């Protein structure tokens, strides 16, 4: 059977069978080119405006930076004084290497097995539409809940959130939302289990500058930049290897539990026969919340000193917040989340998110946030070629949110709210 491109009477293994409207809406959203470096955010705003009308929920738009709008749809609870629930998602997606894709990455093709291909199908346009469709079903069923629910759609997560969530979290409009608990993105899990993230590693992007004596490329010049650079690289990558071993030898560790170091850029030199006066190397370091950050920076300082005279470092990114979200049964939000998953026979794996999402800003603001994308039996393909989600996993995810959202929005009044 040919893959289905138009979404009207989709294949998905059942030729001629009408496609679930939720799936059609998801595929329509995948076709919007909200892709960096120039995301079509106007297309996303138009789409969300339509959703706001369909759901009968008021929409607020806050332009946090020129051309960067945060959109919020609000379903007010029966007791609006209570803390609200935030369902957060980002609207942007990362670029593609189209030549490596089976299909056009923005055509939202559904193949004969019912797999839906597209950039953002896992990260995180599926989650956006699952939130929307769960809310649509709950409203259609006439449900109401004590707590207000906010659906929030933010730009620029994929480029660090500096013109998105990081600014909005400090905006008075964010404070007005009166958030008590947030859901945001997670990762797929290839097994039967679902992964949930209660914290993130801090990203540290470091450039180490190695100045040295210049001279003619034919001589043995002392104290060159390259000799220092070599020591720096060895010290950082030896540590990388120790952490890699630590991960590989401990069964209970995941990537989020160890520090990763990757050398990502090297600069320096002007000509083959000129020994350069400076060489620089950059590292992407990700540090678990359990690591003492002051001590870790002391370690970097010591490596630079050991590498030679005047070796310095500077940060392009230095996350310092180590807040994690409680996953204790005594926590009312976690209890509502985990007991609902249990009632749906879902197995949860609790982990630290290995990279950085907008959840880090939410947790840094002192709010609990769980990273969760309901995709089990699915390979992790975010940012990868041929990113896809199966139609059945996508539809099950709507059902999961249809059960989770009422539980969260009905968490009894907390002692801090009384």
Ligand X SMILES: CSCC[C@H](NC(C)=O)C(=O)O
User: Footprint of ligand X on this chain (CB under 6 A)?
Assistant: 160, 203, 317, 355-357
Q: Which does 124 bind (CB under 5 to 8 A by kind): Zn ion, ligand X, none?
A: Zn ion
Exposed / middle / buried, residue 418 (Cβ in 10 Å: 0-12, 13-18, 19+): exposed
d(CA 221, CA 214): 7
CB-nearest residue to ligand X: 355
d(CA 193, CA 218): 60
Residue 123 CB, nearest approach to Zn ion (Å)? 4
Strand partners, 349: 195
Query: Binding Zn ion by CB under 5 A: which of 185, 257, 358, 391?
Result: 185
d(CA 175, CA 83): 11
Q: Which of 92, 133, 166, 358 is catalytic?
A: 92
d(CA 199, CA 353): 6
Shorter beta-carbon distance to ligand X: residue 7 or 164: 164
Q: Which of 4, 123, 156, 157 is catalytic?
A: 157
Shorter beta-carbon distance to Zn ion: residue 35 or 279: 35
Binding pattern for the stretch 134-173 against Zn ion, x by CB under 5 A and - elsewhere: ----------------------------------------
The verdict on whether 92 is a catalytic residue reads yes
CB-nearest residue to Zn ion: 123
Of 358, 364, 362, 322, nearest to 202 by C-alpha is 322
Q: Which does 317 bind (CB under 5 to 8 A by kind): Zn ion, ligand X, none?
A: ligand X
Strand partners, 371: 184, 197
Of 143, 146, 170, 148, nearest to 85 by C-alpha is 148
d(CA 115, CA 391): 6
d(CA 324, CA 289): 8
The verdict on whether 238 is a catalytic residue reads no
Q: Which does 156 bind (CB under 5 to 8 A by kind): Zn ion, ligand X, none?
A: none
Kindly indicate which of the ranges 67-75, 147-155, 184-192, 324-332 contains the residues binding Zn ion, using the contact rule CB under 5 A: 184-192
Task: Give the Cβ contact number of residue 234 at 10 Å.
Answer: 13
Binding pattern for the stretch 92-131 against Zn ion, x by CB under 5 A and - elsewhere: -------------------------------xx-------
The catalytic residue positions are 92, 157
């Amino acid at each position: 059977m040919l893959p289905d491109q138009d979404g009207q009477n989709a294949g998905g293994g059942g030729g001629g069978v009408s496609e679930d409207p939720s799936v059609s809406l998801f595929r329509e959203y995948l076709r919007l080119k909200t892709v960096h470096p120039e995301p079509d955010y106007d297309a996303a705003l138009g789409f969300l405006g339509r959703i706001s009308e369909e759901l009968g929920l008021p929409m607020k738009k806050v332009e946090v930076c020129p051309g960067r709008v945060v959109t919020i749809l609000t379903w007010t609870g029966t007791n609006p004084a209570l803390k609200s629930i935030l369902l957060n998602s980002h609207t942007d997606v990362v670029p593609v290497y189209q030549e490596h894709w089976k299909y056009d990455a923005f055509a939202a093709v559904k193949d004969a097995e019912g797999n839906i291909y597209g950039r953002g199908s896992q990260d995180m346009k599926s989650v956006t539409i699952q939130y929307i469709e769960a809310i649509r079903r709950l409203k259609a069923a006439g449900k109401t809940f004590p707590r207000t629910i906010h659906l929030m759609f933010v730009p620029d997560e994929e480029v660090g959130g500096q013109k998105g969530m990081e600014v909005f979290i400090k905006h008075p409009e964010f404070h007005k939302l009166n958030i008590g608990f947030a859901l945001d993105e997670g990762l797929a899990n290839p097994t039967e289990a679902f992964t949930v993230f209660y914290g993130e590693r801090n990203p540290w992007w470091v450039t180490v500058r190695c100045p040295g004596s210049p001279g003619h490329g034919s001589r043995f010049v002392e104290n060159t930049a390259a000799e220092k650079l070599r020591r720096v690289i060895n010290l950082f990558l030896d540590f990388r290897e120790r952490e890699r071993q630590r991960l590989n030898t401990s069964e209970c560790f995941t990537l989020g539990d160890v520090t990763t170091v990757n050398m990502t850029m090297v600069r320096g030199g002007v000509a083959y026969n000129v020994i350069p006066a400076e060489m620089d190397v950059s590292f992407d370091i990700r540090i678990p919340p359990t690591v003492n950050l002051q001590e870790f920076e002391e370690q970097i300082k010591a490596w630079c000193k050991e590498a030679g005279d005047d070796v310095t470092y500077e940060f392009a990114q230095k996350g310092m917040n180590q807040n994690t979200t409680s996953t204790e049964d005594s926590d009312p939000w976690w209890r509502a989340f985990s007991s609902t998953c249990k009632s749906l026979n879902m197995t949860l794996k609790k982990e630290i998110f290995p990279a950085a999402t907008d959840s880090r800003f939410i947790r840094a603001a002192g709010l609990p946030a769980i990273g969760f994308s309901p995709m089990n039996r699915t390979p992790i393909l975010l940012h990868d070629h041929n990113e896809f989600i199966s139609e059945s996993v996508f539809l099950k995810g709507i059902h999961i949110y249809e059960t989770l959202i009422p539980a969260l929005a009905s968490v009894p009044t907390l002692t801090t709210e009384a």
